[in-house]
Amino acid sequence: MIIGSRPLKFQVMVDHDQCMLCGRCVENCSYGVYRMEDGKIRVNSRNCVACHRCLSQCPRDAIMIAERPCDYRNHPVWTDQVRENIFKQAESGKILLGGMGNTGDYPIIFDRLVLDACQVTNPSIDPLREPMELRTFIGKKPRQLELKYGPGNDVELKTKLVKNLQLETPIMIGHMSYGAISLNAQMAMAKAVSESGTFMGTGEGGLHEALYPYQNHMIVQVASGRFGVDVNYLDRGAAIEIKIGQGAKPGIGGHLPGEKVCADVSCTRMIPEGSDAISPAPHHDIYSIEDLKQLVRGLKEATEWKKPVFVKIAAVHNVAAIAAGIARSGADAVVVDGFRGGTGAAPAVFRDHVGIPIEAAIAAVDTKLRQQGIRNEVSIIASGGIRQSADLTKAICLGADAVYIGTAALVAMGCRVCGTCYRNLCTWGIATQRPDLVARLNPDEAAVNVSNLIHAWTLELAELMGAAGINSIESLRGNRDRLRGYMLDETMLDVLDVNAVGA
């Protein structure tokens, strides 16, 4: 007890005049904040993670949660976070874990980019009156077409096209495994992507039988632990993704704690019940780029060359050159996951300090692939920190073909970004396997919310394109002329290949 108690992170206050003693807060809080005692709601604020489940269920708005009512003595270098981390590590001697994405105080490049609109010299297009095409094809495209002209109007297409995924909107949902999140959460998203004409990832957790009806909209993942992978799994997916790395924790593997491996998860992942599922840092059959090529080919061979294969990497310093290598591996798309990508759990030091922002990574990858004349070899999927339709639009302008969203889809199902996904206590029934908690998430209702979000972003994207005088997504992609940088330095503008505002 040398260090003793620290200031409360959250203070929960109950307005006893308002409280009607319905007990919903007690029932809903899985972290043990509330108890009913002597005819009164009592709290233990120290357990609170600010997931706001109690607030959302309180019929009388009787609950108030304040963040850090008593802070540490202010110091610009020795911030409260720094001091708390030291306290924790001095006590535990361990690596600090954190959920959700990067918490570092880095400027967000998306917020320093502004979009263009037409005035006078060309008309903006009204998507309500004119066609607006967002249909996107993910996969390899020929570099050139070979057409054979016969007599008259006879023409023969000699070039053979390979299978692409057809998306009705360039928004997909990224890989969050069954295990990390609940089956109900996966079900909700699967329904939503099926309805929206797009796709979602299974994550490295196999494909639960309940999701088979939606398999044509699911991208199955092969990661370093190979959990849940067999030929049945590969055959069911619309595409296959090889996960090399993840933006939230580049360079390291994954760890699903045994508590989350219930019977059902154990079957789907094909691992013993209650055992920790540990994915190694590298794939032990990929020690170099030529090994990746073999795995791509192996997966294609196993599925009779019918499915696109994606390769997902974390955005690291040399991302452009790595993507160029992937483009030559036979893969159909490269997924670039920026350093703001979310996660159920990651060492905080990785989450906050390793990798680069997605905006710079997409720009660098797109530029490099163009310079090498191999941009048509792969599609670029941007992920990690896509929060709104503006981010989506800007990502496409910088060169992405489509985006993966993750956290945004969870938020659409109620997630409050409390960052404690790894504790299996998610009060929203999303990042937990506890049956009573999972039951709180109605997949049909949540599907409507996720589908609404995709729909709303799609509408906004269409409006932004129309305002820019563009009626097809192809003409937005890589169109950095329609972006301007505001308060970005010259080096960053160079990397993004974007002019400054006014230029």
- List interacting residues with another protein (CB under 8 A): 118, 121-123, 125, 130-131, 133, 135, 137, 141-147, 149, 155, 157, 159, 161, 164, 370-371, 373, 375-376, 468-472, 474-482
Q: Distance between CA 64 and CA 43 in Å, rounded?
A: 12
Closer of 38 and 156 to another protein (Cβ):
156
Instruction: Provide the angle, in degrees to the nearest 10, between the axes of the packed helices 389-397 and 358-371.
Output: 20
Query: Tokens for 102?
Result: 């990067």
Closer of 4 and 131 to another protein (Cβ):
131
Other C-beta atoms within 10 Å of 464: how many? Answer: 23
Closest approach, Cβ 170 to another protein, in A, equals: 13
Closest approach, Cβ 133 to another protein, in A, equals: 6
Q: Distance between CA 492 and CA 499 in Å, rounded?
A: 10
Q: Distance between CA 430 and CA 421 in Å, rounded?
A: 8
Start-to-end C-alpha separation, the chain: 60
Other C-beta atoms within 10 Å of 160: how many? Answer: 7
Query: Tokens for 386?
Result: 């896509």
Closer of 341 and 466 to another protein (Cβ):
466
Closest approach, Cβ 208 to another protein, in A, equals: 33
Closest approach, Cβ 374 to another protein, in A, equals: 9
**Residue 277's closest CA among 355, 320, 219, 225?**
225
Closest approach, Cβ 478 to another protein, in A, equals: 5
Closest approach, Cβ 122 to another protein, in A, equals: 4
Closest approach, Cβ 324 to another protein, in A, equals: 13
Q: Distance between CA 101 and CA 95 in Å, rounded?
A: 17
450, 413 Cβ separation under 8 angstroms: yes
Distances, alpha carbon 4 to alpha carbons 66, 90, 91, 323, in Å: 22, 12, 10, 49
Closest approach, Cβ 363 to another protein, in A, equals: 11
| Burial class of residue 501 in the structure, from the number of CB atoms within 10 Å of its CB (0-12 exposed, 13-18 middle, 19+ buried) | middle
- For residue 333, what are the β-bridge partners? 310, 379
Closer of 197 and 257 to another protein (Cβ):
197
